[in-house]
Structure 1
Amino acid sequence: MNHDTPLSPLPLHHLSGLRSRVLTTRQLREHGVPAAELTERCRPGGCWQQVLPGVYLLHPGAPTSEERLHAVLLYAAHRGTTVPQQTGPSGEPPAAMITGLAALALHGFTEAPPLLGLARIEVLVARTRRLRSTGFAQIVRAVDLPAPQEITGVLTAPVPRALADAVAGLTDASAVRRLLTEAVRGGHCEAAAAVRELSRARLLTRPHVVDAVDTLLAEGRALAEQRLYAVVRGHGLPEPLWNVDLRLPGGPQLGGVDAFWPEHGVALEIDTRAPRPEEDPLHSAFDHKREHLERLGITVVRCLPRTLREAPEQQAAVVRTALMAAPDREPSAYVVVLPR
């Protein structure tokens, strides 16, 4: 038997580049490779090798990092199912996606280990899938799979979910803090989104995670405030009073706001909340404060960190509209402004 006999010349439309050297048993069978030939080629010293159950590498030697990623996805997507399924961000939901530290490396995190340095690659699948971790494939289950992102042809969990899965396996407090800080400082995701996923994963009971989250939220707020300063000054808005507490004369405190234009009766607050899943947003502290201020004739602009980062001109337009509408409103109640 000639071991150099090529595969069937049928084109592999659904595979490309490096992925074409990683195939499942079914794909090989569909391209004319009988079981006997597969066994022969995968003998010790052969030109192919089995890297995971039902997944084969079509060359000798160690797999590249890309080949390991595709092997894990093929194993998780095809194992235990009769219909191969792996779609991109559009179409049917994917059967599997890379998560954890490997996903963070794909997203460009400098604090994540290099892909070749990872002993195991985490792959996210639906909770109902009958799969087990094996070799370098680490199965992670989810009740609901998030929409994946495609990075260099690899279906990858979004940063908040990948962070939660990575943190779940880390006990080093400094490593957790560095990853969470890079997520926000590097613009990969907002602090609230990361904290929300950590909460869903029930990781906020771990002391080293709670400490890192405190740092994360402070980092997120500081960045959002810097971006708000840039929006006000870069779009020609009037300079407000920054970071002040409001109260009624001789009365109760009304709460703090991030910016206040007293002559216009407009207040702005950066909403960095990371609500628990069971929290009713209609009755949150933020909304109670807003309702109280608006009863006093003060317009409250809610400002999201994501909008400041992705659409600063849109945020500037919202603030400008609120300021320009001041002459058409009843004058607001007199409030005392204190630094906070």
Structure 2
Amino acid sequence: MADPDKTEKATPKRREEARKQGNVAKSSDLSGSVVMLAGLLALGLAGPSMVQRMAGGIRDTLALGGSTDPVTKSSIGELLMRSGMNVAICLAPIVGVCALAAIVVNVAQVGLRPKTKALKPSFQRLNPKNGIKRIVGKQGLVELAKNIVKLAVVCWIVLGSFLPHMTDYAAMVGVSPWQLGSAIAAKVKGIAFRAAFAYLLIGVVDYFWQRRTREEGLKMKKEEVKEEGKGQDLPAEVKGAIRRRQRETARARMMADVPTADVVVTNPTHFSVALKYDGKSAAPIVVAKGQDLLALRIREIAAEAGVAIVPDPPLARSLHGSVEVGHQIPEELFQAVAQILAYVYRVAGRRRLGTA
């Protein structure tokens, strides 16, 4: 059942990903009908020469049987070789035309870009649950309906061709085998072509159905389209510039938050981590952190703003390596940070008392 939230047409990226997975609009009925028509046309064109060649082979076999010469292994082998060559020569045009038709009709449906990923084995295809869904689900019902229609069309064509002419066939009693064979061959040829054209019509309808079903399956939600639009492929230079701009913006925002910190824990020269605790959050939050030159800049801004700077190398390294900017400190660091904050509050309190 289609997802009602998926209302947007698939993007080119989504279509390409589906194609790589082997999800293409392709009708096996259309391919089969085209191959069938091609085979009938080839058989009609090559039929007379095939009959002559096969008749020659039968004459050679009968001549060998009626010959007074002794039958040897070499003569039988030569006969078998000649018969095999006759069969191969007779079938080669038909097989070649059918193969060419199959290639053309499949390329016309899916294009000239084969995807080897679709040929890789997948255990999902062997999952009985998925197989049952395909049989009893919407796809299974569609396939059942198509098979019933195909069977009904063939029966209608065969019965419609033979029943009205039953008296004509009865009147052919006593005619020569050649005349009877020609009449039957002409009738069978007409039935085969009518059935092939009806099958072709079913294949065309099925192909458009497959395209429609694929389009419905590839539809996307509006949120998916927006997210994919954000990740469109861009030149490497543009991506790099965007990332640099994002880093610069984040760094500027981080530096702007340093004056709001309660304390800056340092290494004392390699790392600096600015902490803020407003009493509303469950734990202190890292508002800024940096290494080397960035750490030096954090200490400079903190000193200008009057933020306490406390050297504690182990704690500074732990905070810098385990906590991201804007996140709360982990529980295992609560005690160490609490001691530093208590020290800072005591010093700040003494300074206020001394100033007073």
Compute the TM-score of the two structures, normalised by the length of structure 2. Answer: 0.19
Structure number with the higher helix fraction is 2
Largest Rg, 1 or 2: 2
Q: Whose strand proportion is higher, 1 or 2?
A: 1
TM, length-normalised to structure 1: 0.20
Greater relative contact order (Cα < 8 A, sep 6+): 2
